[in-house]
Structure 1
Amino acid sequence: MDHRSESTETLRNKCAACFRQFNRKEHLVEHMKVSHHSGHEPMCGICNKHCRSFESLREHLIGPLPKQECKNIFSILGCRFCLTILDNPNSRRAHEGRCQFSSVNAGLLARLANLGIHDKLSIDSGRTRGPQVVALACKMVGGGSDGSLDLCARICIIDEYENIIFHTYVKPPIPVTNYRYETTGIRPEYLKEAMPLKQVQKRIQEFLCNGEPMWKIRPKGSKARILVGHGLDHDLKCLQLDYPLIRDTADYPPLMKTSKLSNSLKYLTQAYLGYDIQIGIQDPYDDCVATMRLYMRMRSQAHIKEDYPLVNNFESRRQSELERMSPEELLDISRSDYYCWCLDS
Structure 2
Amino acid sequence: MDHSAETSRHKCAACFRQFNKIEHLVDHMRTSFHSPHEPTCAVCKKHCRSLDSLREHLIGPLPKQECKNVFDMRGCKFCLAILDSSYSQRLHQERCQFSCVNSGLLARLANLGIRDGSTAIDGGRTRGSGPVALACKYVGGGDGSLDVCAKVCLIDESENVIFYSYVKPTIPVTNYRYETTGIRPEHVRDAMPLKQVQKKIQDILYNGGEKARVLVGHCVEDDLKRLQIGYPSIMIRDIANYPPLMKTSKLCNSLKYLAQVYLGFEIQNGVQDPYEECVGGMRLYKRMRSQVHRIEHHPMASDPQNKNNFAAWRESELERMSPEQMLEISRSDYYCWCMDLRI
The normalised TM-score by structure 2 is 0.92
Q: How far apart in 2 are the matches of 1:279 and 1:211?
A: 36
Deviation string, structure 1 residues 179-236 (Cα, Å, up to 9, x no partner): 1111111111111110001110121112212244xxxxxxxxx810110000112211
Match among 110, 135, 154 for residue 157 of structure 1: 154
Q: How far apart in 1 are the matches of 2:202 and 2:245?
A: 27
Match among 256, 262, 268 for residue 272 of structure 1: 262
| Counterpart position of 2:76 | 79
Of residues 44-53 and 230-239 in structure 1, the stretch that sits farther from structure 2 once superposed is 230-239
Q: Secondary structure at the match of 1:10?
A: helix
Alignment of 1:190-201 (within 5 A): 190-201=187-198
On the 8 A contact 1:74/1:85 being kept in 2, the answer is yes
Alignment of 1:99-178 (within 5 A): 99-103=96-100, 104-112=103-111, 113-114=114-115, 116-120=119-123, 123-124=126-127, 131-144=129-142, 146-178=143-175
On the 8 A contact 1:249/1:295 being kept in 2, the answer is yes
Shift of 1:17: 0.3
Q: Secondary structure at the match of 1:199?
A: helix
Alignment of 1:228-243 (within 5 A): 228-243=216-231
Q: How far apart in 1 are the matches of 2:307 and 2:12?
A: 15
Q: How far apart in 2 are the matches of 1:229 and 1:194?
A: 23
Q: How far apart in 2 are the matches of 1:89 and 1:285?
A: 35
On the 8 A contact 2:150/2:166 being kept in 1, the answer is yes
Q: Give the length in aligned residue pairs.
A: 327
On the 8 A contact 2:126/2:162 being kept in 1, the answer is no
Shift of 1:122: 5.0
Q: Secondary structure at the match of 1:140?
A: strand
Return 5+ residue gaps in structure 2 as ranges: none
| Counterpart position of 2:323 | 327
Shift of 1:321: 1.4
Of residues 199-208 and 176-185 in structure 1, the stretch that sits farther from structure 2 once superposed is 199-208
Return 5+ residue gaps in structure 1 as ranges: 213-221
Deviation string, structure 1 residues 65-116 (Cα, Å, up to 9, x no partner): 1111111111111100000011111000000000000022323234345264
Task: Determine what percentage of the aligned residue pairs are the same residue.
Answer: 64
Matched to 2:320, the amino acid is R
On the 8 A contact 2:125/2:162 being kept in 1, the answer is no
Alignment of 1:185-224 (within 5 A): 185-212=182-209, 223-224=211-212
| Counterpart position of 1:95 | 92
On the 8 A contact 2:239/2:281 being kept in 1, the answer is yes
Matched to 1:108, the amino acid is A
The normalised TM-score by structure 1 is 0.91
On the 8 A contact 2:134/2:217 being kept in 1, the answer is yes
Q: How far apart in 1 are the matches of 2:8 and 2:58?
A: 24
Shift of 1:139: 0.5
Runs of 4+ in 1 over 6 A off after TM superposition: none
Q: How far apart in 2 are the matches of 1:168 and 1:58?
A: 38
Of residues 305-314 and 178-187 in structure 1, the stretch that sits farther from structure 2 once superposed is 305-314
Q: How far apart in 2 are the matches of 1:69 and 1:110?
A: 48
Matched to 2:73, the amino acid is I
| Counterpart position of 1:215 | none
Match among 33, 40, 45 for residue 42 of structure 2: 45
